[in-house]
Amino acid sequence: MIKLANRLKSARPSPTLALNAKAKALAAKGADVVSFAAGEPDFDTPTNIKDAIKGALDSGFTKYTATGGIPELKAAIVDKLKAENKLEYSPEQVLVSVGAKHSLYNIFQALLSPGDEVIIFSPYWVSYPDMVRLADGEPVIVETSAHNNWAPDPSQLRKALTPRTRAVILNSPSNPTGGVYSKETLLAIAEAVRGHDCLLVSDDIYERLLYVDGGFQNIANVAPDLASRTVVVNGFSKAYAMTGLRLGYAAGPKELIAGMQMVQDQSTSNPTSVVQKGAVAGLKGPQEPLFAMVKEYAKRRIVMADGLSKIAGVKCPRPDGAFYCFADVGELIGKSYKDQTITGSLKLSELLLEDFLLAAVPGEPFGADGYLRFSFATSQAIIEKGLARLAEFASKVS
């Protein structure tokens, strides 16, 4: 028997990826699966990005690059952050990695020593606590509630901050809730952390996917005095429909970025050379394909959220951002389907996949049992088909 590292004992594989893989495997076998599992755009990658990647391949751009990204891409990221986010960085403050997930992983590897704490608002994206644990850190969970549109409560945050707090993770628009932090919420978070020497990790991966007025803003925008201890994380997966191409980046304090670069130097080296060229084309090229995708998500969001709310035992207000409906299915929990008790969201998700070929991610690994996450990054026809299956299931629950 091979004895594995102790740090693996407290982590678990990504449940979102696992369910997505299970749904894809069933579909590959010919099953008529409707999957709301993946946080993955169904749109194709924009043509100009694909052309740039093909061009780079044909011209032999297939060798190692600088670990942290090619200068051209770093410059394009610096320009994007300045023009769109009103944030100023030098190229040494930017590190390009193999997806935003990798950027986050590098942050915790570079930042944490055993026992250091990271504050995470729940419901949270499934990977945050495990990434912290894999870096020997301790996730400290602060709950938020649907009644408050998932906005963190500053007094709860204050209670959770300790001398061991090394970072607070902010994710707006949020996966899984779709919640968007208002300026007031961001200002209240800023006020709460001001007296504490901790890093702010702003995971902005869904910044483009907003369905409310006011535009995108993060903590460094509303509290410029905290910009020097904020690391912004973003990537190409969602905005440019490039999930499988794996490219993300972080921009933040020089010392942190240098530490992350060292971790990356000794693990993956550079992100894929040709994909970096595609990302340059994405950032510098026409942004219309993005706007078209967002327009379509906005329509689907209404079909999905309103359709869910019509189903007995399901409640789901329209989310303000991202492409997830985080539906309250609490009324179904504890009830029975056939001869089985629906003990929680894991059981519910299992029954839906097994009996109705419907994949929805259980809320439990997001820290919110009693909820199911439905991604609407899929066509309206599929959304309607999936909703019909859920309604049929709900009609059989007693």
Q: Can you spell out the DSSP letters for 262-298?
A: HHHHTTT-SPPHHHHHHHHHHHHS--HHHHHHHHHHH
Q: Considering beta carbons, is residue 207 or 311 the nearer one to ligand PMP?
A: 207
The structure tokens listed for 363 are 């809320």
Rounded to a whole number of angstroms, the minimum distance from the CB of residue 55 to ligand GLU is 28
From first CA to last CA, the distance across the chain in angstroms is: 46
- Which residues of this protein are in contact with ligand GLU, per CB under 6 A? 14, 16-17, 38-39, 101, 126-127, 175
Q: Do residues 277 and 353 touch, judged by C-beta distance below 8 A? A: no
175 touches ligand PMP (CB under 6 A): yes
CB-nearer residue toward ligand PMP: 44 or 88 = 44
Q: Which residue is nearest to ligand PMP (CB)?
A: 99
Q: Which amino acid is at 249?
A: Y
Comparison of 239 and 383: residue with beta carbon closer to ligand PMP? 239
**Contact partner at residue 17 from ligand GLU, ligand PMP, none, CB < 5 to 8 Å by partner kind:** ligand GLU
Residue 38 touches which of ligand PMP, ligand GLU, none (CB < 5 to 8 A by kind)?
ligand GLU
Q: Where are the beta strands (DSSP E) in 252-385?
A: 324-328, 336-337, 340-341, 358-359, 361-362, 371-375
Contacts of ligand PMP in 94-123 (CB under 6 A)? 99-101
φ and ψ of 357, to 5 deg:
50, 45
d(CA 351, CA 291): 37
* Binds 221: which of ligand PMP, ligand GLU, none (CB < 5-8 Å by kind): none
Residue 341 amino acid letter: T
Q: Report helix, strand or coil for 128.
A: helix
Assess contact for 76 and 283: CB atoms under 8 A.
yes
Q: How many residues bind ligand PMP (CB under 6 A)?
A: 13
Which does residue 261 bind out of ligand PMP, ligand GLU, none, counting CB within 5 to 8 angstroms by kind? none
CB of 310 to ligand GLU, least distance (A): 25
- Retrieve residue 323's tokens: 């492409």
Instruction: Tell whether residue 125 is a contact of ligand PMP (CB under 6 A).
Output: yes
Under the criterion CB under 6 A, does residue 249 sit at the interface with ligand PMP?
Answer: no
Minimum gap (Å) between residue 247 Cβ and ligand GLU = 14
One character per residue 181-220, x = contact with ligand PMP (rule: CB under 6 A):
----------------------x-x---------------
Task: Please name every residue paired with 140 in a beta bridge, in sequence order, or none if there are none.
Answer: 119
Q: Within 24-63, which residues bind ligand PMP (CB under 6 A)?
A: 39
Q: Residue 243 interacts with ligand PMP (CB under 6 A)?
A: yes
SS (H, E, C) 14-58: CHHHHHHHHHHHHHHCCCCCEECCCCCCCCCCCHHHHHHHHHHHH
- Contacts with ligand PMP by CB under 6 A lie at 39, 99-101, 125, 171, 175, 203, 205, 235, 237, 243, 248
